[in-house]
Amino acid sequence: MIYSNNDMIRQQLHHYRTIICCIFALILSGCASVNYYSQSIYGQVEIIKKRQDINTLLNKDELPDRLRKKLNTVKALRRFSIKQLGLPDNNSYFAYADLGRDYVIWNIFATEEFSLRPKTWCYLVVGCLDYRGYFAESEARQYANILKENGHDVYLGGVAAYSTLGWFDDPVLNTMLRWSDIRLAAVIFHELAHQQLYIKHDTEFNEAYADAIAHIGVLKWLKQNAEQPEYDAYINAQAQDEQFITLVMKYKALLNGLYQSGENDESMRTGKKALFSQMRDEYKLLSRNWAEDSYAGWFETEINNAKLAAIVTYRKYVPALLDLYEKLDNDLNQFYGFVKLLADCDQFQRRKTLEQRAIKFGC
């Protein structure tokens, strides 16, 4: 898929009209909403303005070799995502934008002091999410500090990619190209999966589904394009990742038990601190023989409820979805049909089906 100049102009006009409509909606929804949504609009406009067609860039002799190689990889991944994975065939990831920073947005997760249930924020169009994103790090930190002052556990993390769910033609960003080709593939497949299927008010399902598609896609990509050692390294990394997630879920259960124990606040604070320390020690034992310690950085900074909630939000239902994919004979078309039916259920029935890992269900 190639942009012409006229196509680019028409698409930009369409996008700006969409943004103008959003502004009018915000004006009607109150000052607090305007203040937050304004930064989102300006951030999206910046991305649109900096977008450049990948094919046009590849025709430039002065393009750095590393960037040329990465953009050619993006093109190959995008073709693969359409032909082999059945992901949306649209203009997303056929353009590139250099934002001149390491992250595109900064996401905030927050919980109460004695809870692992993430605070939710509700937005126009996308519904309620378990996090709040800012295009400016300073604004994200300012809001995170307000939440901390109000007694919340808070986790703030930079994000290198996100999806506009098909509202805009998402470009590949400079923030994504510093990764390995495998991680780049996973993120592109993940974000395209959001465009393919998105359920309002169910962050855990949406993120798990996108992660499951990313894993399935990377395995297929490696089988067709990688040498055996690279494939084996990915499988080993995934096994370590599963061990880390199992550890997180273990301590989620232990912390929930503590918070529901009825003990006084001081006892729970002491117990909470002890469990996080115990979790660190257990991870050191778990990872002592790993060739690459992928989560060392995660444990070097403060662990709190919000940090665990961020992991749970993205990964809780991934094993169940991958198991269901296997039960459906590793057939993506069957799997897509299954999750679309699952999307028609209410959240309770959807989660019950995932917990039971049942390919036959009723809503």
DSSP string for 152-184? -EEEEEEES----TTSS-PPEEGGGTTS-HHHH
- The pLDDT value recorded for residue 36 is 86
* Domain span at 286: 229-356
- The pLDDT value recorded for residue 6 is 44
Residues 170 and 300 in one domain: no
- Beta strands (DSSP E) in the chain are 51-53, 95-97, 105-111, 121-123, 127-129, 132-134, 153-159, 172-173
Residues 177 and 235 in one domain: no
Residues 52 and 167 in one domain: yes
Residues 167 and 270 in one domain: no
Profile the chain (363 residues) by mean pLDDT over runs of 10 residues: 42 49 43 75 93 97 97 98 97 97 97 97 86 95 97 97 91 96 97 96 95 98 94 93 95 98 97 98 94 90 96 92 97 97 94 93 84
Domain boundary among 181, 213, 244: 181
Domain membership of residue 98 (yes or no) is: yes
- The pLDDT value recorded for residue 37 is 82
Q: How many folded domains does the chain comprise?
A: 2
Residues 168 and 53 in one domain: yes
Domain membership of residue 86 (yes or no) is: yes
Measured CA to CA, the distance from residue 324 to residue 345 in angstroms comes to 17
Q: Tell me the chain's radius of gyration from C-alpha atoms.
A: 21
Measured CA to CA, the distance from residue 154 to residue 148 in angstroms comes to 6
Degrees, nearest 5: CA angle 12-15-19 = 135
Residues 173 and 271 in one domain: no
Measured CA to CA, the distance from residue 256 to residue 265 in angstroms comes to 14
Q: Which residues contact 138 (CB under 8 A, 6 or more apart)?
A: none
Residues 96 and 27 in one domain: yes
Domain membership of residue 70 (yes or no) is: yes
Domain membership of residue 306 (yes or no) is: yes
Domain membership of residue 80 (yes or no) is: yes
Residues 175 and 235 in one domain: no
Residues 54 and 174 in one domain: yes
- The pLDDT value recorded for residue 303 is 97
Residues 171 and 294 in one domain: no
Residues 329 and 258 in one domain: yes
95-97 and 51-53 strand pairing: antiparallel
- The pLDDT value recorded for residue 361 is 86
Residues 170 and 306 in one domain: no
Domain membership of residue 145 (yes or no) is: no
Domain membership of residue 89 (yes or no) is: yes
Domain membership of residue 215 (yes or no) is: no
Q: What is the CB-side half-sphere exposure of residue 267 using CA atoms within 13 A?
A: 7
